[in-house]
A and B are shown apart, each in its own frame.
Chain A
């Protein structure tokens, strides 16, 4: 649509729509943020004031004192999300590279198997996965959370698409210089794949950080909870203390928001990658 042909009126209308939607997007966040700084009495009064009348940090202090496990949950979430992200980056790129570049027997077969895996909904494998983890004694453990999610078919495809369009000359030159396949991958291919890796990293990290279904099934010791699970328990304990619940929610959202503020370019890129090529 050409800018020149938009009359002043439609221009105003467009901005009207966009700004109202921006408000609709922001209100829940601002409302939660303001509640996290309000004392309970102000919350119960049911007034719709976005600026707390009696501003307090008490709710945040309360969380750390009343819920000693909060830091532990934070640690669990970080440890799991970081390990899952690191392993995904390495393994997805290795598989994507192999499927795009290496010539080995059975490549087509594995490629189509992976395609099929993409179509399988998580709920079918949920219960058997639980039983398998139980059988090997990995319930309630970090490895139980990490190992099943350390590769991801979607991102293997993303990496494959990326490497298929990758210029071959560099690798060939390295081969002539006598570099092995692993050395070529580690020293030449991976460093050049940084944009794709960054997009993948934010998505895998977020997915792990926000995951609810897997932990709710395999983690049951409060010490091992991740933040989403902890938050849910917290809600059960402080059923109508919305000031505490909102403060805890805000603490939980903060790391992701910071990540998003710095890397939003990669988030958008990642969506386009998976969206355009998935």
Chain B
């Protein structure tokens, strides 16, 4: 009887094959995850904790880096700084105009392309071209088109519309960037819509045709409602993307956010706060004050 309760080393080994198997599975799993966990840990989790730390400190970047605890003072300065308000306003205006416009344009293009057009694949490849081109190149091309005696003004003059100093006039500079970005990102979302359109069963359209629905009614009462989840995704992605506007503003204004702060965005302000003025703690606070931090993930 007693022999049953005394474990020889050999028996102990035999008793726990399940446990050993689990350990081996854990080991394999973590080996597969190791590079990811390393990068996410060092370059995402650590920076976030660091950002919280920085936001309540004053940082001296010149020479030796020094930190000094200042509590909520960075947040106070954030509220009193005019340029924070300007950057937030510019970014909000940019998001409010670009996101709906590019979403609608994408939807219209996708539905039009999907309406039994022969050259569909060719047009899709062509439309997608701006999406694969670097933002730096696109910005330079558009800056040239926006020149006072550039192509856009030539076109406007030709059809009798007023011309603008697109790069130098604070009233229109941000509009120029908006136009460019709608043009370059709408095709990306168009492809997403186009893929989603393939998943709508034809029978739905056929049934509505029997009921005498016109193409327009089908679009409003079938296509748009059925695409709602995709639209949600496209809008969420659009908001995230537009909030991070930086490259275009930076190149457009040579890093200043000018003319007269009209192209100053939140990310550009953060960049300037650190790399122009070297006021670090202040910079680390700005991003999390943007409405973006409260945005749900798509």
B246 touches A124 (CB 8 A): no
> Chain A residues near B98 (CB, 8 Å)?
none
User: Given the known A-B contacts A31-B141, A94-B35, are A268 and B54 also in contact in the complex, defined by CB atoms under 8 Å?
Assistant: no
Q: Residue A212 at the B interface, CB < 8 A?
A: yes
B75 at the interface (CB under 8 A from A): no
Q: Is the CB of A235 within 8 A of B183?
A: no
Within 8 A of A (CB), among B207-232: 209, 215, 218, 230
Q: Mark A1-45, 1 if CB is under 8 A from B, else 0.
A: 111011000100011011001101111110110010000000000
Q: Indicate if B275 sits at the interface (CB-CB under 8 A).
A: yes
Q: Is A191 located at the chain interface by the 8 A CB criterion?
A: no
**Using a CB-CB cutoff of 8 Å, which residues 73-107 of chain A contact chain B?**
87, 90-92, 94-95, 97-99, 102-105, 107
Chain A interface size, as a band, is 35 or more
A276: interface (CB < 8 Å): yes
User: Which of B7-15, B76-84, B144-152 binds A?
Assistant: B144-152
Q: A1-B114, A14-B112 are in contact. Are A217 and B134 (CB under 8 A)?
A: no
Within the assembled complex, what's the spacing in Å between the Cα atoms of A246 and B137? 8
Asked if B30 is an interface residue, CB under 8 A from chain A, the answer is yes
- Nearest CB on A from B196, distance (A): 7
Q: Which residue of A lies closest to B206 (CB)?
A: A2
Give the residues in chain B near A116, CB-CB below 8 Å: 297
Of A2, A15, A181, A246, which is within 8 A of B117 by CB?
A15
Partner among B35, B183, B205, B275 whose Cβ is within 8 Å of the Cβ of A2? B205
A110 touches B37 (CB 8 A): yes
| Chain B residue at minimal CB-CB distance from A32 | B141
Residues of B with C-beta under 8 A to A275 = 191-192, 195-196, 230, 233
CB A18 to nearest CB in B, in angstroms, measures 6
Task: List which A227-278 residues lie within 8 A (CB) of chain B.
Answer: 227-228, 231-232, 235-236, 242, 245-246, 249, 252-253, 256-257, 260, 264, 267-268, 271-272, 275-276, 278
Q: What separation, in Å, do the CA atoms of A181 and B30 have in the docked complex?
A: 12
CB distance from B62 to the nearest CB of A (A): 13
Chain A residues, CB < 8 A from B250? 212, 216, 232
Minimum C-beta distance from B60 to chain A (A): 12
Shortest A131–chain B CB gap in Å is 7
User: Chain B: interface residue count, which band?
Assistant: 35 or more
Q: How far does the alpha carbon of A278 sit from the alpha carbon of B113 in the complex, in Å?
A: 24
Q: Cβ of A95 and Cβ of B192 under 8 Å apart?
A: no
B215 proximity list for chain A (CB < 8 A): 1, 5-6, 10
- Are the C-beta atoms of A1 and B288 separated by less than 8 Å? no
Can you name the residue of chain B whose Cβ is closest to the Cβ of A130? B274
| A-facing residues in B276-298 (Cβ within 8 Å) | 280, 283-284, 287-288, 290, 292-293, 295-298
Cβ of A1 and Cβ of B151 under 8 Å apart? Answer: no
| Inter-chain contact B32/A260, CB cutoff 8 Å | no
Is A46 located at the chain interface by the 8 A CB criterion? yes
Residues of A with C-beta under 8 A to B51: 124-125, 127-128
Indicate if A222 sits at the interface (CB-CB under 8 A). no
A193 on interface, CB distance cutoff 8 Å: no
- Which residue of chain B is the closest to A252 with respect to CB atoms? B137
B267 to chain A, nearest CB (A): 5
Q: Tell me if A's interface is mostly helix, strand, loop or mixed.
A: helix
Which A residues lie within 8 Å of B36 (CB)? 91-92, 94-95, 114, 151, 156
Q: Which of A91, A110, A127 contacts B54 (CB 8 A)?
A: A127
Cβ B144 vs Cβ A121 within 8 A: no
Complex Cα spacing A95 to B135, Å: 30
B270 touches A123 (CB 8 A): yes
Q: Is the CB of A117 within 8 A of B109?
A: no
**Are B47 and A235 closer than 8 Å at their CB atoms?**
no
The reply to whether A127 and B32 form a contact with Cβ atoms under 8 Å apart is no
Partner of A119, one of B109, B126, B133, B296: B296
Chain B residues contacting A123 (CB-CB under 8 Å) are: 244, 246, 266-267, 270, 287, 290
Chain A CB within 10 Å, residue with most, of B48, B54, B288: B48
Taking the closest CB of chain A, its distance from the CB of B42, in whole angstroms, is 7
Q: Give the complex CA separation of A210 and B65 in angstroms.
A: 31
Complex contacts, A18 vs chain B, CB 8 Å: 109, 112-113, 117, 119, 123
Given A14-B112, A15-B117, A127 and B126 touching (CB < 8 A)?
no
Cβ–Cβ contact B144 & A246, under 8 A: yes
| Residues of chain A within 8 A of B40, CB atoms compared | 113-114, 117, 151, 153
Q: Which A positions have Cβ atoms within 8 angstroms of B?
A: 1-3, 5-6, 10, 14-15, 17-18, 21-22, 24-29, 31-32, 35, 46, 48, 87, 90-92, 94-95, 97-99, 102-105, 107, 110, 113-132, 134, 147-148, 150-151, 153, 156, 181-182, 185, 206, 209-210, 212-213, 216-217, 227-228, 231-232, 235-236, 242, 245-246, 249, 252-253, 256-257, 260, 264, 267-268, 271-272, 275-276, 278
Q: Could you name 5 residue pairs across A and B whose Cβ atoms are closer than 8 Å?
A: A28-B145, A102-B25, A185-B32, A213-B247, A275-B195
